[in-house]
Amino acid sequence: MRMSDLVAQYIMQMLDEQNGSAEIQRNELAGNLGCVPSQINYVITSRFTPEQGYIVESRRGGGGYIRISRVKMDRGTAIMHIINSVGATLEKATAEVMLNNMLQRNMLQLQSAKLIAAALSDRTLSQVEQDKRDTVRADLFKNMLLIIE
């Protein structure tokens, strides 16, 4: 498992144990996990975004912290939030992160996530010109999310 996955998993566990809100001291967490503090920043900025249902607050300085809170919203609102956060293009890796987040939040069933991932794969889109794949992927993803139950 990659270090970024371990960091994200650790933070998710903290959120689960603390009712959806966790305070993290970046240097302390990096020391506990055996990584550099910038790795913590990367994970937080890429996996705990408002589009993915999180609010991140930080305070710098000696007693500084990063507070991550999971936004509580119903499934339909959350899905519309995700659809609205997808721009005109969507990279494969970003789509995979979004699908994984949706699985973790029980917004999708595993079979649906696998079908969506297959439809968005580079293999499926191989007949689409390389410079247009991310645009097609974004349109597919948004339309698929609109019809899932």
Span 15-74, pLDDT tens digits: 999 988 999 988 888 899 999 988 988 898 888 887 677 889 888 766 678 999 988 778
pTM of the model: 0.62
Contact 81, 51 (CB under 8 A): yes
Distances (CA, A) of 75 to 22, 26, 31: 22, 31, 36
The number of beta carbons lying within 10 Å of the beta carbon of residue 141 is 22
The number of beta carbons lying within 10 Å of the beta carbon of residue 58 is 13
What pLDDT band is residue 110 in, cutting at 50, 70 and 90? Answer: very high
Mean of the per-residue pLDDT values of the chain: 89
Distance CA 112, CA 114 (A): 5
One-letter amino acid at 149 equals E
Distance CA 8, CA 126 (A): 31
Q: Is 102 helix (H, G, I), strand (E, B) or coil?
A: helix
Q: Which residues pair with 120 in a beta bridge?
A: none
In the chain the domains, ranked by start, together with CATH numbers, are 3-70 (3.30.56.130), 75-147 (1.10.1200)
Report whether pLDDT(13) > 80: yes
Report whether pLDDT(90) > 80: yes
CA dihedral 113, 118, 122, 128 (to 10 degrees): -110
Report whether pLDDT(106) > 90: no
